[in-house]
Structure 1
């Protein structure tokens, strides 16, 4: 017998506790999803137990994974250009009166987005696990809504101190004497966005049209119960878009309007003459009128008078980082209520250019490909619509899935991990 036939290839024995990189990164993402889904309740009970620091572990794990991955990351030139722009913008924020705490807090906010962009290609190799976690989080969101409606949950209205700053652990608030349901989450806005994103991604992996329709209906009801009108409108429009997703021109038109509409609204607030009384009325559009009359014009005026219309106020000077660590003269930049305006106030014209990249992102996601692409298409489109009236980049779940979508379009389709785990589709109408 030929001796070569007796030679067998030996594989190195794996340790029982050994874990591969895609699994590890997916578990980190799962921990982040679970922490954000139960953020309000977890904040309350962990504070009672004196272990509030545990809630920061998922983001710290994301940060550690980012650091290790960046050592060998070969991103496209645009990625490094954006990274250089952020560093330069952070230096500008320091010149405008910000402190290192502002920059550090802002970086902490954007960890999910950066994690999705850098590590998202590995997560697609473990989609089965990720989808199960998403399904569990969606179910938990519905349970949280039921509990919030039926009983007085102890974590509602809870606040805590971060140094000398009081932060909300779970917001308790009402609209027109109607309680805004937050479930297990910190606030109703986060809950509504999570339900929308979870259901749109999950629907891509459900083959039965009847089950998809049922999922959409239950999810829409859950979003309505949060009383977040912008999320309700965004979710309904997203479902309408999915019904004609097979038609490229109609879809491209919808993408164009979704992205450009968000950038046009703040400009319209300077040109339109809206009755100020509409902003304090009890109508359904009162909050939108308040943005047109007060929020957006005041934000624009603060940027033009205190910062720069070309370069913005700098990285860390806008958003929650400005709320946690106020910057003299820039206090009104804490909330923009519009993502395009938010990016402009922080990064200037480069922020607007960054926002407009959502259009080619949607067009790439619309191309035929694996099922995960269809799920990300619906999620990103809905996020773009929510961004009209929300600083959506500060919603961790929204920024995570936005990062996953960016990683997906930047990674070739012939990667082995994805080809084994994501069956390809031929008709985007399967989501309708």
Structure 2
């Protein structure tokens, strides 16, 4: 029996949707694998002369973003941001940035954009993605153990991109303790990946004992990397999961976390912390004091001196793009050590507003009682906490997961905005009773 045209059309659309979802999730898994093994893969791939293959997952992110953007249905806010993004790129070129700066920044942020527009595809195949995350989690633990208690050949390996030397695996120490990065390129990136992988996997674990065991293992592993911000953020995020049913408490906590992330860099502008405070506080706070005394005030002074405080330097003028394609006189924009400062330096006042949009995003996720909603709430909360002292937009895995959260919220808002069909009122005409 022949199928009707409508049925055949539905089958074709479902097949296309399945293929697109499969492509999206395999690109995401490829990205996770490359980032998890980035240090080791760079070492061995360079030996084999195939180093450029490591860029394929991000190329896939760019391609799928462009393909999905053609049919992506989003609200006005998303498209306004896209227009501002384009204008910011033009502004950066007026500030002496090149097309290479813009292209590299787009390439670096591609996991974020990919996560936003392909969130439904990734969540449609969330179990397959879970297997990829679980493998990367296990590999990260193995790599950490090998690096911490043994010797790995890629330790401290660096490579050249043009005339710029980049580190594939950073070898450094704190308090005479080696900051192990495992298979990854640097210890704090490994700790961020461990935190986000664990949060995602908790969505699929129903046993309370197993959830506690996984959280404890992840916490211990993060502590071994000696990364303080991810360790504290992960601990607080686990606490949030215990009080997630207390809606107003969670809302207040999220507002405080976002607001403090925005206000923390201003403390260095209002108060100078002397070196005696650093020595009394111990080396555990030395990096924070360095940001308060040096990094953030100097960057703010530079932005104000250039007259970029309101507009920002522009898209392509902030972050790792400045290391590979430096703009003369703007080396200070290489790193901000704060996600809020990063956005402000790039987009100015619009960047601050974009940072504050985390609040309504977290509120939407608080109201979502599903497992996916709880996982994404924990992801966004942890991301924001780590972002107090970290350029989270420079971490590909972090970009992917926060993009997934933002895309999920945008999709939910789009469904809410669809007008519901009105039911026709049935009028009953009563017949007059005969006398």
Equivalent in the alignment of 1:241:
240
* Aligned-pair CA distance for 1:280: 6.7
Equivalent in the alignment of 1:411:
411
* Aligned-pair CA distance for 1:273: 2.9
- Alpha-carbon separation, structure 1, partners of 2:270 and 2:413: 45
1:207 match: secondary structure: coil
2:314 match: secondary structure: coil
- Alpha-carbon separation, structure 1, partners of 2:150 and 2:413: 48
Equivalent in the alignment of 2:432:
none
Summarize the Cα distance change of 1:328–1:204 in structure 2 as closer, same or farther, 3 Å threshold: same
- Alpha-carbon separation, structure 1, partners of 2:79 and 2:297: 33
Equivalent in the alignment of 1:394:
394
Summarize the Cα distance change of 1:114–1:414 in structure 2 as closer, same or farther, 3 Å threshold: closer
1:285 match: secondary structure: helix
Q: Deviations over 1:333-366 (max 9, x none)?
A: 1111111011101100000000000111111111
Higher mean C-alpha deviation, range 18-27 or range 58-67: 18-27
**Counterparts of 1:57-72 in structure 2 under 5 Å?**
57-72=56-71
- Alpha-carbon separation, structure 2, partners of 1:280 and 1:55: 42
Equivalent in the alignment of 1:56:
55
Equivalent in the alignment of 1:304:
304
* Aligned-pair CA distance for 1:166: 0.8
2:160 match: secondary structure: strand
* Aligned-pair CA distance for 1:406: 0.8
* Aligned-pair CA distance for 1:368: 2.7
Equivalent in the alignment of 1:113:
112
Unaligned ranges ≥5, structure 1: 1-6, 416-432
* Aligned-pair CA distance for 1:279: 4.6
* Aligned-pair CA distance for 1:150: 2.3
- Alpha-carbon separation, structure 2, partners of 1:253 and 1:323: 39
* Aligned-pair CA distance for 1:283: 2.5
Determine which structure has more spread, i.e. the larger CA radius of gyration: 2
Q: How many residues align?
A: 407
Summarize the Cα distance change of 1:375–1:170 in structure 2 as closer, same or farther, 3 Å threshold: same
Summarize the Cα distance change of 1:125–1:413 in structure 2 as closer, same or farther, 3 Å threshold: farther
Unaligned ranges ≥5, structure 2: 416-435
Residue 66 of structure 1 contacts residue 119 of structure 1 at CA under 8 Å; is this kept in 2? yes
Q: Deviations over 1:110-141 (max 9, x none)?
A: 00000000111111111110111111111111
User: What TM-score do you get using the length of structure 1 for normalisation?
Assistant: 0.91
Compute the RMSD of aligned alpha carbons. Answer: 1.9
- Alpha-carbon separation, structure 2, partners of 1:110 and 1:307: 26
Residue 276 of structure 1 contacts residue 293 of structure 1 at CA under 8 Å; is this kept in 2? no
Residue 141 of structure 1 contacts residue 195 of structure 1 at CA under 8 Å; is this kept in 2? yes
1:374 match: secondary structure: helix
Residue 158 of structure 1 contacts residue 170 of structure 1 at CA under 8 Å; is this kept in 2? yes
- Alpha-carbon separation, structure 2, partners of 1:340 and 1:27: 31
- Alpha-carbon separation, structure 2, partners of 1:277 and 1:38: 40
Summarize the Cα distance change of 1:85–1:413 in structure 2 as closer, same or farther, 3 Å threshold: closer
Answer yes or no: is 1:324 the counterpart of 2:363: no
Higher mean C-alpha deviation, range 364-373 or range 23-32: 364-373
Equivalent in the alignment of 2:183:
184
Runs of 4+ in 1 over 6 A off after TM superposition: 10-14
Residue 111 of structure 2 contacts residue 403 of structure 2 at CA under 8 Å; is this kept in 1? yes
User: What TM-score do you get using the length of structure 2 for normalisation?
Assistant: 0.90
